[in-house]
Structure 1
Amino acid sequence: MMCMTKPALLSGLALAAFAAIPVAAQVQPLKKAVADDIFADHPSMDQNATVMPAADAKPVAAIFAERPIGDASVARLPGGGWILTGTSLRTGARHGVELWRSADAKTWTRVGPAKISGNGIKVGDVSERYLAPSVTVAGDALYLAFSDKTGCARIAIGSAATPGGAFAASPCLVEDASDVSLFIDNDGKGYLVWGGGMIARLVPGFQKIAEAPRFLKPDQTLFAKHPPVGKDWPVRTRIGTRGATMTRDGDKYILVASETTGRMRTATEDLFVAEAPTPYGPFTMRALAVPHAGRGSLVRMDDGKLAAVYNPKCDDGFALFCEQVGLAPLERAPDGRLRQAASVITEDSAVAARKPLVTTESMRDPSVTLGGDGYYYLVGTLDGYGYHRPEGGVKLWRSADLKTWDDAGFIWKWEGLGYDFGDNIAELWAPEIKWVERDKTYYLAFSVMERGVGGKTWLYRSTSGKPDGPYENVTKSYFVKGIDGFPFEDDDGLYFLWGGGSIGKLNAKRDGFDGPVRTLVDADGDHVGYEGNGLIKVNGVYFLTGAEWHGPLRTHGTYDMMYGTSKTLFGPYSQRRMGAPHGGHGTAFKDKQGNYWYTMFGNDPTAPWRMQFGLVPIDIGDPASIGVPRIDAVRD
C-alpha cells in the first residue's frame, strides 16, 4: 500500500466558528526589547519569524503524485520545462535513477530510469539502487549526482534535450558519500556537495575532485558575543544534517540542508538555509527556511524567484502530505534572509490557518473564561514581556461571540499590592481570570517576576461579583512562590494550580490551603508542562495542560501545548502527549455551544503569528484526548 497521504489528524468538530476570523483593523507595533532585556532575541520576536502567512495564504499543493518518492530534486529545463528525480519508494522500479519531465509542473511524463553507463556501471543493472539522486541543468547538459551501491559519489552527464537518453558516469569522486548534489557556478566551475554540508571543487569535466573536501558551517565569529547553549548548540556546528545543496542568488551563495529536530514532538524534518559571498563561506547563522519541507533543493520559478522543494516523509504528523512533491515559494524577510513566502502555509493543523483576534496590543499567556453573565473575558501578559512596576497592570477584554473583543480597560494596577520589591525590576506576568460558579464571583491570579529573585503569585477576588472588580487580595501578601497561577473549580471545591504542577485545595475563606499541596505528574513521574499548567474536566476526565519547548530552544524550537489525562484530580496522569502545536501557555475552555477552544499567543518562529491573542479549535474526546483538526476542516 502506497503511503502517499500522511496519516490524518483528529477529524475535528463541525464548528461554525472555524471560518477565518477578521483581524482588528488597528495594529500596534510590538514593544521592542531593550538592549539589556533578557528577551532581546526571544523566538517570539518578529525578527526571528519563519512563517508570516498572509490573510489569503494557501496550503502548499502537490505538483507530483505519480508515485511515492523521497529526497526529491527538481530543476528547470532549457525552454522552461521541468525535470524531477528522487528516491523511488515501494512500488515500481527501484533501481537506477528515475526521471520525470513536465512542461508546466502539473502533468508529468516518466522518462526513466536513466540509461547510465561507464566506469563499472551498466545500463539496467537492477543491483544498483541510487538513494537521493539529484538533478542539475547547465546549458544543454543534464547532470545526475548520486551515490552508487558502494557509497561512491558519482556524476552522470547527459543531454537536457533528451533526458531519456544516455548518461556517462564519472569514476568514484568521493567514498562514503550520501545525498550527493552538483552545484555549477556562473563561471562553469563545478562543486560536489553532499551529506549535511561537505563540499569539494571538481576539475573541468567533473571526473574527479580538485581539492580536499571541507565542511561548511556558520561563521564562528558570529557567536563570539552570544554563544549558543543547551539545546541551541546545533546552530553553531552545522546548517543541517542531510541533503545539502547549493545554488546562487545574485551575488549570494545559498546552502540549504535539512534536519529532523524533534520540533512539535514529531519527526519534523525542516529545511535550513545559510548564505555566503563565496561557495566556501563565511556563512551566516542558519535560519529555518521551510518547516516540514523534508530534504529538498531550490529551483527558480517563472517569476525569477526561488522556491523550495516540499517533499515530507510520512513520519511527520503535521506535514500537508507525504512522499509527494510540492513547491514552496520563498521570499526575503526584512533582514534579508530567505524564508517561506507569506502566500503559503506548510503545516497541516488548525493552528496554521488561524489569525490573531486582538492586534491592538501585544499579549502573552492569554486566559479566557466564560462568565456568569454569558460573556467571555480575556486577560494576558501585556506590554511585550510584562509591565514593569509601577506601570500598567491587568487589562480586561470582553466578547459575546469569541470574534469581536472590546477593551474594558484596567481592572487591577500595582497600587495597593502591599509588597516591597525595593529597587529591583518586577514584571507582571501571566494573569489568569476565572469565573467560579459556587462563589458567584471572579478570581484573578497573576505572577510577579523579580530579576535575580524569581517569581511569586498573587490571588485576588472580585468583591462585586463582576469581572471588572473591584478586586481584593485574598491574603495580605503573595499567595504562593512560583509563577502561572490557575484557579480550578471541581465538584468538591476550588483548587489552585501553579508552577510545574503544584496544586492545593483552597479553604473556605480562600486565603490558604485546606490540606496538603501535591504535585501533578504523568505516568512516568514527569511534569506535563514545565510552565503554564491548566485544568479542564470533560465527562468525568481531568485534562491537565501545560507548555513545553521542543527542538532547538531559542532558535527554531516549538512552544507546544502538552496534556495528560486522569479519572482522578491528583492522577497520576497519562503519559504527556501533544495537544496543540504552538499552543504553549494557554487556557482550554468550553464555549456556549459546547465547543472547545485553546488560547494561544504565538511564542515561536513557526507560529502563524507572534505575541498576540488568538484562539485554536480543539477536539476533546475519545474519551480522553486533545487534538487539533486538520487545516481542511478549518477551511470548510
Structure 2
Amino acid sequence: MLWLVVISCLTQEAKSQEKNTGAIVSALKSHEKAVLVKDDIWIRDPYIVLGSDDYYYLTGTTQMPEVKFDDDTKYNVGLGDSSRVGWAVRVWKSKDLANWTYVGEPFDLSDGYWAEKEPTAFKNTSRGRWHLWAPELHVVGDKWVLIHTTPGPVKGGSNLALTTSKRLQKPYTFPLGDLAANLHDPSLFQDTDGKVYLIWANTKIVQLTADMTQFIGEPKAIHPSTLRQMPNGKQEPGIGHEGCTVLKIGDKYVLFGTGWSTNQGRKGSYNLYYAIADSIMGPYGPRKFVGRFLGHGTPFQDKDGKWWCTAFFNANVPPLERECIQTKDLSDNAYTINKQGVTLVPLEVKILDNGEIDIRAKDLDYAIPGPDEVQKL
C-alpha cells in the first residue's frame, strides 16, 4: 500500500504546484501587483529577454547548481569573503513567465576569453574565488551575445561572447578581445537602424563595429542633466552607480541606472532611475524615479505589450513585510521587500502627447519613494 501513499502525496504536490502556477498566471494577467514568479533559486541582477523562438530566457548572478538552496545560502548577499556567487551562467526558459524550465549552464568562466589568454591565473585560483556577475543575453542578428562582469580570477576579466550558431551553446568567439576588459555591469543595445552599442559603468557608451570587433570612436560618458547629492556634500553626475542599460521607447532613448536611495553604499533601498534623450549619445534630461526596490532590474515588454521590471533580494537582512513600507525610513541599513528569487513588478510606461516618456512602477509599494530617498522627486 506504500506506493498508493506515495502516489497520493505526489498528486497532492502536483495539484499544489499547478494551483501556485495558476495564481502566478492570473497575477501576471492582471498586471497590477508585483508577482514572485520563481522562488527556488538564489539570484541577483535577474535578466529576461524574449528569444527568437518565442521563449523568454532568464539568467542572472547565481550560485552554482550544486549549492543547496537552504536557509544558510538563501540570504547570502553574495558579497565579500562569504560570497557564494558561482562562475557559470545559468539559464531558464518559459513561454508564459510563470512556468520555467532549466536550460543548463551554456557558459562558464573556463569557456571565456581570459581563460584562454591567462590560463595561469585560473589554474592558481581556486574555483571558490571565481565569480561571474550580472550576465545578460542578447539576440543580435541570428546569434546570441552573452556578456557579463567578473572580479576574478582575472581582475576586470569581463567577457563578450558570441555564439557560432542560432543556439545558445558552445563554442563561442570573443570578437572584442582585450577591449572587453574592465567592463563593470556591461550591457548591449541594438538600435532600430541595426547599430549596436556597448554600455557599462555609470555610464559609458560606445558604438561597436558591425562585427563587434572594435569601438567606433572613443567611449563617451552619458548621464542625466541633474546632479546627485552625495553624502560628502558634493554633487556628482551619474544615473546611479551600476546596473545601467539603454532602451528605445517611441522615438526616445531611455537610460536606466541603479542607486541606493541614500546615495550611500548599502544604505536604504536599492532603486531604479531613468533619464531621456533624443539621441542615444545625449544630452539626457533630469534623473527620474522608476521604482523602489527595483535596482539592477530589467525593464522589458512581454508578448502582450505589457511592461515589467525584474526585481530581486538585495539587503543585509531578510525581506521586510510590506505593511506600512511606503512611509518607513530605511536609511540605517540595506533593506528590501523582495523575497529571494525573481519578482516581476508591473510598470506603467506612457508616451505623452509631447513625445516625452513617463515610467513608474504600478504597485504602490514600489512606486512611492521612501522617506530615505535623498533626491527631490
TM-score, structure 1 normalization: 0.42
For the pair 1:545 / 2:274, whether they are aligned, the reply is: no
For 2:292, the equivalent position in structure 1 comes to 581
Q: 1:414 is matched with which residue: 106, 109, 119?
A: 109
How many angstroms does 1:354 deviate by? 2.4
Name 2:332's counterpart in structure 1: none
Match of 2:41, as an amino acid?
A: E
Question: Corresponding residue for 2:60?
Answer: 380
Give aligned-pair identity as a percent: 27
User: How many Å separate the matches in 1 of 2:184 and 2:19?
Assistant: 33
Cα distance between partner residues in 1 of 2:280 and 2:134: 23
Alignment match of 2:188 (pick from 487, 501, 514): 487
Q: Which runs of 5+ in 2 are unaligned?
A: 1-17, 25-30, 64-75, 228-236, 320-334, 368-377
User: Do residues 608 (structure 1) and 288 (structure 2) align?
Assistant: no
Q: 1:633 to 1:413 in 2, by over 3 A?
A: closer
Aligned match of 1:158? none
Contact 1:532 1:546 in 2 (8 A): yes
Aligned-residue offset at 1:469 = 5.0
Partner of 1:519: 221
Instruction: String of CA shifts for 1:53-82, please: whole Å, max 9, x gaps.
Output: xx9xxxxxxxxxxxxxxxxxxxxxxxxxxx
Are 2:185 and 2:201, in contact at CA under 8 Å, matched by a contact in 1? yes
- What aligned pairs does 1:328-477 form with structure 2 within 5 A after superposition? 353-383=33-63, 385=78, 392-417=87-112, 418-420=116-118, 421=121, 423=124, 425-436=129-140, 439-450=141-152, 455-468=156-169, 470-477=171-178
Give the alignment of 1:133-212 within 5 angstroms: none
Q: Deviations over 1:240-297 (max 9, x none)?
A: xxxxxxxxxxxxxxxxxxxxxxxxxxxxxxxxxxxxxxxxxxxxxxxxxxxxxxxxxx
Distance 2:142 2:164 in 1: 10
Residues 166-190 of structure 1 deviation map (CA, whole Å, 9 limit, x = unaligned): xxxxxxxxxxxxxxxxxxxxxxxxx
Look up the equivalent residue of 2:88 and give its one-letter code: G
Name the CA shift for 1:613/1:471 in 2 (closer, same or farther; >3 Å): farther
- Secondary structure of the residue that 1:466 maps to in structure 2? coil
Aligned residue type for 2:347: I
Change (3 A) 1:419 1:585: farther
| Counterpart contact for 2:291–2:366, Cα < 8 Å | no
Separation of aligned partners in 2, 1:609 and 1:389: 19
Q: CA deviation at 1:467?
A: 3.1
Q: Distance in 2 between matches of 1:633 and 1:599?
A: 12
Listed as ranges, the matches of 1:505-516 within 5 Å are: 505-516=207-218
Tell me: CA distance 1:403–1:469, structure 2 relative to 1, closer, same or farther (3 Å): farther
> TM-score, normalization: structure 2?
0.68
**Shift in alpha-carbon separation, 1:555–1:461, aligned structure 2, 3 A:** closer
**Rounded Cα–Cα distance in structure 2 between residues aligned with 1:629 and 1:394:** 31
Question: How many residues matched?
Answer: 287
Bigger proportion of residues as helix: 2
Q: In structure 2, what is the Cα distance between the partners aligned to 1:564 and 1:388?
A: 33
Unaligned runs of 5+ in 1: 1-20, 25-54, 56-349
Q: Give CA-to-partner distance per residue, 1:85-115, whole Å, 9 cap, x none.
A: xxxxxxxxxxxxxxxxxxxxxxxxxxxxxxx
Is 1:566 aligned to residue 277 of structure 2? yes
**Which structure: larger Rg?**
1
Equivalent residue of 1:515, what SS?
strand
